[in-house]
Amino acid sequence: MKEYAKQKVIDFCYVTDFVANGSFASLRENVSYIKSPDYAILVRLTDFTKKWSKDFVYVSKASYDFLKKSSLIEGDLIMSNVGEPGIVFLVPDLKQPMTLGPNSILIRPNKKYSSSKFLHHYFLSEKGKKQIEEISTGAAQKKFNKTSFRDLDIHLPTLPEQQRIVALLDKAYAAIDKAKANAEQNLKNAKELFESYLQGVFENKGNGWEEKRLWNVCEYEKTSNKRDNLPYVGLEDIQSETGVFIGPFEPRSMKSLTFYFNDEHVLYGRLRPYLNKVLLPDFEGHCSTEIFPIKPKNNVLDRGFLFQWLISNETMKKINATWTGATLPRANMNTVLEFKINLPSLNEQQNIVQKLNALKAETKKLEAIYQQKINDLEELKKSILEKAFKGELKN
């Protein structure tokens, strides 16, 4: 391990923040936030977390001039110091003047001794994160001040060694990011494969298929539950888009009205239908009144076939178009009953469901493989970063 010279941040960095420009009273008097485009962008942590989506807050030329101590340039290093201390990022070129927002500090190293890129990598490392954690205080809201940050000791390599480390990290990260992008695309393709096949089932009806209104082949059974020894299903207990039950199976009683269901029903969550919460229960229970137990009619509609139809993207979009209520949108379930559904024979429905379940299982295996690869690549990044700041990174 290489030994690096220990230096305080204040010895080689300019560190400032929003409040360095004046008292709170003078800031209120001289700085106004503007939502429409204006002279300068007020750079905030949220701009970074939203990937610079252009939903910016602006300030006027007069406000920008008042905030001259914390004006920004491309490549400046910013770190949050309130709420979630230690989130660090480099300022991109936003094509107009920029100034620092509240709750963050600006870190601008003297180019003779260090660079923003090197310090960016450093404060993403476990060593850098630990230093920020040690100067942060507060239980309800963590924070640190710029004075504590300026007083931090950093083992600083020579400038050529810093440049070597940054170059090696950039090269390694570029290769990892490329591999990760490929894995993410493969993961996306695996998910889309099932959805594409599922949609094809309902769009490309075969010979002998009949078109029915939903009310012809199933009904809502909103039977009040009278028992207190059954598992309860709320919307929070159904995973969006997968139909997986993620709640407890222990009996739960509710003070409010609930609906009884069993393994003959399909459960459909009507509140916020865009969340696509559908469950095929294999147990007896009771559910929130925001969930409708739907019972297929015997010898006409297979329960699994109905589940797959309800959870498909196209059906979700159609149901989502029926909702009413701005604050708490609910599907109009009476309108949904009027939807048309194409049905083969019951035997063919069951065969289709078996094929869909088999394909879903295979795509889940692929998803798990690609997700693990993505996780491994992230761990590789961390490992390389840690080696860099232990002096163990080789060419």
The C-alpha atoms of residue 275 and residue 319 are separated, in whole angstroms, by 11
Average pLDDT taken over every residue of the chain: 93
Q: In Å, how far from its chain's centre is CA 335?
A: 32
Let me know how many helices (H) and strands (E) the chain has, helices first: 13, 21
pLDDT exceeding 70 applies to what percent of the chain?
A: 99
Least confident of 138-152, 159-173, 195-209, 300-314: 195-209
Position 267, amino acid = L
The C-alpha atoms of residue 278 and residue 301 are separated, in whole angstroms, by 17
Does the pLDDT value for residue 2 go beyond 80? Answer: no
pLDDT band of residue 1 (cuts 50, 70, 90) is: very low
Taking only the tens place, the pLDDT of each residue in 55-71 is 899 999 999 999 999 99
pLDDT band of residue 43 (cuts 50, 70, 90) is: very high
Fold for 5-156, please state it. Adenine-n6-DNA-methyltransferase TaqI; Chain A, domain 2 (3.90.220)
Which residues pair with residue 260 across a beta bridge?
A: 286
Which residues pair with residue 153 across a beta bridge?
A: 8
Residues 146/79, Cβ–Cβ less than 8 Å:
no
Determine how many CB atoms are found less than 10 A away from the CB of residue 256.
6
> What mean pLDDT comes out for the span 154-178?
92
Query: Is the dihedral angle over the CA atoms 255, 260, 263, 269 positive or is it negative?
Result: negative
Side-chain-facing half-sphere of 108: CA atoms under 13 Å: 15
Residues 276/254, Cβ–Cβ less than 8 Å:
no
Does the pLDDT value for residue 96 go beyond 90? Answer: yes
Q: What is the pLDDT of residue 202?
A: 87
> What mean pLDDT comes out for the span 130-136?
95
Q: What is the pLDDT of residue 131?
A: 95
CATH of 210-343, one of 3.90.1570.10, 3.60.150.10, 3.40.50.720, 3.90.220.20: 3.90.220.20
Residues 207/348, Cβ–Cβ less than 8 Å:
no
> What mean pLDDT comes out for the span 313-321?
94
pLDDT exceeding 90 applies to what percent of the chain?
A: 85
Q: What is the pLDDT of residue 395?
A: 64
Determine how many CB atoms are found less than 10 A away from the CB of residue 145.
15
Least confident of 5-19, 193-207, 249-263: 193-207
Taking only the tens place, the pLDDT of each residue in 269-311 is 999 999 999 999 999 999 999 999 999 998 899 999 999 999 9
Does the pLDDT value for residue 3 go beyond 60? Answer: no
> What mean pLDDT comes out for the span 311-320?
94
> What mean pLDDT comes out for the span 40-52?
94
pTM of the model: 0.71
Residues 41/96, Cβ–Cβ less than 8 Å:
yes
Nearest CA to 259 among 218, 222, 220, 296? 222
Burial 360-370, CB ≥16 within 10 A → b, else e: beebeebbeeb
Extract the tokens encoding 238. Answer: 């159904």
If DSSP codes are grouped into helix, strand and coil, which group holds residue 28? helix
Does the pLDDT value for residue 137 go beyond 70? Answer: yes
Residue intervals in the chain for CATH 3.90.220.20: 5-156, 210-343
Give the residue ranges of DSSP H helices in 141-158. Answer: 146-150
Taking only the tens place, the pLDDT of each residue in 329-352 is 999 999 999 999 999 999 999 999
pLDDT band of residue 204 (cuts 50, 70, 90) is: confident
Residues 321/193, Cβ–Cβ less than 8 Å:
no
Does the pLDDT value for residue 114 go beyond 90? Answer: yes
